[in-house]
Amino acid sequence: MKKMNNTIRVERAKNKMTQAELAKKVDVSRQTIHAIETGKFVPSTVLALKIARFFGVKLEDIFKLEDED
């Protein structure tokens, strides 16, 4: 089974922004950003692309598919 990890928290820290600020930029709720960051929710392809584009990085730089232990 694969697990989706991400570096959204790191990207937000680099840009000194809150979950709420990012949520507003990509048109979702703060709770959605929190759920993605903690691995409780896997974003749609469109949302994942919006987040990557907002930070100006490749999708693979933020979202990584890894094996579960």
Please indicate, yes or no, if residue 68 is contained in any of the structural domains.
no
pLDDT in tens, 8-63: 999 999 999 999 999 999 999 999 999 999 999 999 999 999 999 999 999 999 99
Kindly compute the dihedral angle of the four CA atoms of residues 19, 23, 24, 29, in this order, to the nearest 10 degrees. Answer: -110
- For residue 23, being part of any structural domain is answered with yes
- Whether 25 maps to a domain, the answer reads yes
Question: How far apart are the C-alpha atoms of 54 and 65, rounded to whole Å?
Answer: 21
**Whether the predicted model's global pTM rises above the 0.85 cut:** yes
Q: Please state the domain count of the chain.
A: 1
Domain of residue 24: give its range.
2-63
CATH classification of the domain holding 51:
1.10.260.40
